[in-house]
Chain A
Amino acid sequence: MIEFRGIEKIYPPNTVALQGVNLKINAGEFVSIVGQSGTGKTTLIKLLTAEERPTRGKITIGDWDITKIRRSEIPTLRRQIGVIFQDFKLLPKKTIFENVAFALEVCGASVGRIKTIVPQVLRIVGLDEKADRYPKQVSGGEQQRVAIARALIHRPKILVADEPTGNLDSINTREIADLLLKINEFGTTVLLVSHNRELVNSLRRRVVTLEQGTVISDQEVGKYVL
C-alpha cells in the first residue's frame, strides 16, 4: 500500500537524512520504525505527509504517486493520514471536545456531523466522559489519546505516530500501545516511530531499523536490534 522506492533526502545544503531507502508497507500492517537519533525517522514521515519532498526516489500510497503532489492536493493526502506526535499538539484554550471538533470544523464539516462524530471517536479512545475538560486538566496519556482521536476523525487509512510515548510513563505508554493495536485491528495501517525498546519488543510486530539514513534491518516479527 505504501511504497518508498530509492528514496534520498538531502536537506540543503548537504545534510543527508535518507539514502537509498526501499520500503514496502502493506495495508493493515503495524510497522515500528526504530533507530538512533538523527537517522531520518521523522524525515521519512514528513515525506509521507508531504511536509518535505524527496530529493530522489518515488513514494506511492495505493496507486497515488505523491512524489510530485500538487499543493492543492496536500490537504486530501493529510485527511487520509492521521498523525500524532510526542508533544500532542493540542490547542490549550480549547476543550477536548473542541480540539477534536476543530479538525472537522476547519475541513468544512457541518455542525450536525461534528456533533455525531466527535463523541463517537472520543468513545473509541475512552475519553467521552472528559470531553469538557481542557488538555491541562487531563494526564499526558489522556492528552495523547485526544490527539489520537483527532487523528482518527477523518477515518484515515494510515495512522502515523512519531514517538507518541516519548513524554509518557510506562503505564501510559502501555495504554497508548494497546490503543494503537486496537486501531490497527480495526484495519488502519499503523506506522510507529519509537525509541522504546521494551515497547517495540512487546508488540511482536514488524520492525524496520534505520541507521544513518538507510534501512539496515527489516524483520517480520522484529526486535529492537540496536
Chain B
Amino acid sequence: MFAALFRIIKFSSQDFWRNFWLTTATVVVLVLTLVSINFLITLNFLTKTAVAQVEDKIDVSVYFKPGVAESEIGNIKSYLLSLSGVKDVIYVSPEEALRDFTKKHENDAVIKESLEEVGENPLGATLIVKAHDPADYPEILEVFDDAQYANIIQEKSFEDHEAIIKKIDSISEKAKSTGFGIAGLFAVVAVLIGFNTVRMTIYTHREEIGVMKLVGAANWFVRAPFLASGVFYGIFAVFFTILLTFPAIGFAEPYLAGFFGGAEFNLLGYFSQNFLQIFGWQFVGVVLLNIVTSSLAVGRYLKV
C-alpha cells in the first residue's frame, strides 16, 4: 500500500516536471483564479470597513432648551441607556456646547458678535445617542416624540447617511459581480487547460498505460496519478497565490489606510489572522476543481 502510494506520487510528480509548459499554464490560470478570489475577499473587507465607518458616524443629537435641569437630562440619559437598541449616550453640557460652537465659528465675525451681544450662554445641553444598528434609530427617535418632552427639547437632528451606505453597497455590489465574473472565467479557463493537460499526459503515456492494463494493474492505480497531479497543481497554485497576495496587500495597504483616514484599518492583519481559513479553502477548492477536471479527462480518454 505504501509502495503503491509512493509510486503514484512518483509517477505524477515526474509528469509535473516533464510537461513543464503545460504545467505552468495550468498553475498560472489557477493562480489567476485564486488572485481574483482574493481580490473579492479584499473588496468585501473594504466595503465592510467603509460601511462600518459611515455607520459609526450616524447619531441622533437631541438639543435641550437652555435651563433644563442637568438631573432631568441625566434621567433621560439613563432611560435611553436602558433601551436595548442604544449603544451609547453622550452628555454635552451647555458650556461644552458653547465652546464647541464658538470654536467651530471662530472665524465668523457675525456669529461672534451676536454671541457677545446675548452675553449669556444661549445653548442648552445636548444628548448624543448612538445605536447598535442604524435600523434602531426610528425607535429611538420615537421616544422623543412623546408629549412629556415637548417643552424641554429644542430640536432633534438625525443624519442617517443612508444614501451614502446605499451608494457604497451598490458600488461594491457592482465590483463584486465583476470580480465573480472574472474569477468564474478564470475557473472555466483553468478547467479547459487542466483538461487538456491531462489529455496530453494520457497521450504521452499511452504505452505505459497500455502495459499497465496488460499486466493487470488495478484500475484505480492507473487513474490515481492523474488525480494526484491535481493535488500538486493545488499546492503550487496556492503557494504562488500566497506569494503574490501578501506583497500586493503590503503595497496597497498604506494607500487604502490613507483613504480610510487611518481608522482601524488592517487588511494585512485580516489576511494573516484568517490565513488558514482563506488559503485552506482555496486549496481544497482548487484540488476539487482539478480532481473533477482530471476525472472528466480520464473518463473520456483513459478507457480502463
Name the residue of chain A whose CB is nearest to the CB of B4.
A108
One digit per residue, 1 when the CB lies within 8 angstroms of any chain A CB and 0 when it does not, for chain B 221-241 equals 110000000000000000000
Tell me the chain B residues, 1-43 only, with Cβ under 8 Å from chain A. 1, 3-4, 7
How many residue pairs between the two chains, A and B, have CB atoms under 8 Å in the bound complex? 57
Q: Pick the contact of A79 from B208, B210, B215, B222 — CB < 8 Å? A: B215
Number of interface residues, chain A, beta carbon within 8 A:
24
**A18 CB within 8 Å of chain B:** no
Q: Which of B1, B7, B208, B214 has the most CB of A within 10 A?
A: B214
Q: Pick the contact of A78 from B4, B208, B215 — CB < 8 Å? A: B215
**Which residues of chain B come closer than 8 Å to A153, judged between CB atoms?**
215
**B296 CB within 8 Å of chain A:** no
**B269 CB within 8 Å of chain A:** no
Contact, CB under 8 Å: A106 / B217: yes
Complex CA distance for A105 and B17, rounded to whole angstroms: 21
Name the residue of chain B whose CB is nearest to the CB of A151.
B215
Contact, CB under 8 Å: A107 / B207: no
A89 touching B3 in the complex, CB below 8 Å, given contacts A72-B219, A79-B215, A150-B215: no
**Which residues of chain B come closer than 8 Å to A89, judged between CB atoms?**
207, 210-211, 214
**A48 CB within 8 Å of chain B:** no
Complex CA distance for A91 and B211, rounded to whole angstroms: 8
Complex CA distance for A71 and B214, rounded to whole angstroms: 14
Contact, CB under 8 Å: A106 / B214: no
Name the residue of chain A whose CB is nearest to the CB of B3.
A110
6 A-B pairs closest in CB distance: A78-B216, A79-B216, A106-B217, A103-B215, A75-B216, A108-B4
Interface residue ranges, A against B (CB under 8 Å):
71-72, 74-79, 83, 89, 91, 102-103, 105-111, 150-151, 153-154
8 residue pairs A–B, Cβ–Cβ below 8 Å: A71-B219, A75-B216, A83-B214, A89-B214, A91-B208, A102-B215, A105-B3, A106-B7
Interface residue ranges, B against A (CB under 8 Å):
1, 3-4, 7, 207-208, 210-219, 221-222, 304
